[in-house]
Amino acid sequence: MTNNHERCKAKIEKLLAPADVRINGSRPWDIKVHDDRMYPRVLGGGSLAFGESYMDGWWDCEAIDELLTRILRVDLGARVEGWREWLSLAISYLINRQTARRSYVVGEQHYDVGNDLYERMLDERMIYSCGYWRNANNLDDAQEAKLDLACRKLGLKPGMRVLDIGCGWGGAARYAAETYGVDVVGVTISHEQVEKAEEVCAGLPVEIRLQDYRELDEKFDRIFSIGMFEHVGFKNYRRYMEVASRCLKENGMFLLHTIGFPLSSAKIDPWIAKYIFPNSMLPSVKQIGKAMENLFVMEDWHNFRADYETTLLAWYRNFNNNWAELSKSYDSRFRRMWNFYLLGSAAGFRSGRNQLWQIVMSKPGRPGGYRSIR
């Protein structure tokens, strides 16, 4: 090991000490370094370099989720931010990363990566958002419970016209149409999702569109958006709420299901932005509240973040249990990248860094009260 590598190693060891993580230690959450170039790389490149060096096989860890949980709890990322993080923050303020034209990028890079991946990782309905584990013992039941929870919160009734903003592979639209007898219009920016959703919803009163939410201008009795708001971006939160408001009938209700962040931020994690969700961003309570002001009344705000860790670990098991089949289409670097994403996301919820919210909104002046449903 060169003197420079030794110095960089000593700095990283000092940074990791408050998280109780050791280099080449014996505990499951300790880091096993295979390439000493990792030390200067991470010090200079922050979270992006940390994730990339794992993808390249420069280090390993038996329990990545616990390692990252410990790092997040002491906010280690703020201490080793590289120039890329600051550049990303500056760009977020200067430009709108989530314009209508850019909105399709995440569909192409993430959701179009291959339906075979998601079919093997997700539940039978292919729901790519947090399940509701209150009375569930497996992923299929947890996802059905989440869908039913959303439908009950909205008070769906036969004959209603419902909008699904960010419909994914059609699982939620199909459930609402089959179980509650409603007509559904689902929009997504992913070609692969449109193809699968049309197949899944064939024969039901469900219309699937390849369409950006900003293009919507028609009336619905109810609206739900499950796991899509994370792609909207802080410069567009108000526009998103305005679109939902203009599309919702006067006595209608809107359910927003989204990951949330404790602080208002315009910052995007560079590794997540480059490899997983380009142009993604997590909203805060303040940002959502400001965006909905004078457009909606907040009727209910439900946080069940612990359920997302359980969901992510179920996806992680499914992904790795099916790797023998998936390896025919994806290489080992992709596997390391995907595991880092799933376990890192689980760490985000375990540490309290990320939240999971279901928010029920109504238009001002809607008669009667609202009783929370759990």
Tell which residue, 152, 155, 130, has the closest CA to residue 143: 130
260 confidence band (pLDDT: 50, 70, 90): very high
Residue 14 within a domain: yes
| Assigned domain for 275 exists | yes
Residue 93 belongs to a domain: no
Q: Residue 23: which residues within 8 A CB-CB, separation 6 or more?
A: 9, 12, 13, 16, 30, 31, 33
Last residue of a domain, one of 26, 47, 81: 81
**Amino acid, res. 76:** L
Q: Indicate whether 72 and 114 sit together in one domain.
A: no
Q: Are residues 297 and 246 in the same domain?
A: yes
152/261 same-domain check: yes
Clarify whether residues 35 and 150 are in a common domain. no
Rounded distance between C-alpha atoms, residue 351 and residue 278, angstroms: 23
Tell me, yes or no, whether 136 and 75 share the same domain: no
Q: Establish if 18 belongs to a structural domain.
A: yes
Question: Is 316 inside any structural domain?
Answer: yes
Kindly state whether residues 64 and 125 are assigned to the same domain: no
Asked whether residue 53 falls in the same domain as residue 182, the answer is no
Answer yes or no: do 59 and 173 share one domain. Answer: no
Distance, in Å, from the CA atom of 186 to the CA atom of 169, rounded to the nearest integer, reads: 10
- DSSP annotation of 107 reads I
- Same structural domain for residues 217 and 283? yes
Quick one: 74 and 114 in the same domain?
A: no
CATH classification of the domain holding 243: 3.40.50.150
Pairing of strands 32-33, 248-260: unpaired
Tens digits of per-residue pLDDT, 44-73? 888 899 999 999 999 999 999 999 999 999
- Among 120, 46, 114, 49, residue whose Cα is nearest residue 81: 46
8 Å CB contact between 28 and 62: yes
Residue 86 domain flag: no
Identify whether 69 is part of a domain: yes
For residues 222 and 343, state if they share a domain: yes
Is 186 within the bounds of a domain?
Answer: yes
Please give the residue range of the domain that contains residue 33: 3-81
Same domain, 34 and 160: no
Structure pTM?
0.91
Per-residue model confidence as pLDDT tens digits over 325-364: 999 999 999 999 999 999 999 999 999 999 999 999 999 8
Task: Compute the 3-state secondary structure of the chain and give helix, strand, coil in percent, each to the nearest 5.
Answer: 50, 15, 35
Last residue of a domain, one of 17, 47, 81: 81
pLDDT by residue (tens digit) across 141-180?
999 999 999 999 999 999 999 999 999 999 999 999 999 9
Task: Give the total number of structural domains in the chain.
Answer: 2
The amino acid occupying position 154 is L
| Residue that terminates a domain, selected from 81, 114, 129 | 81
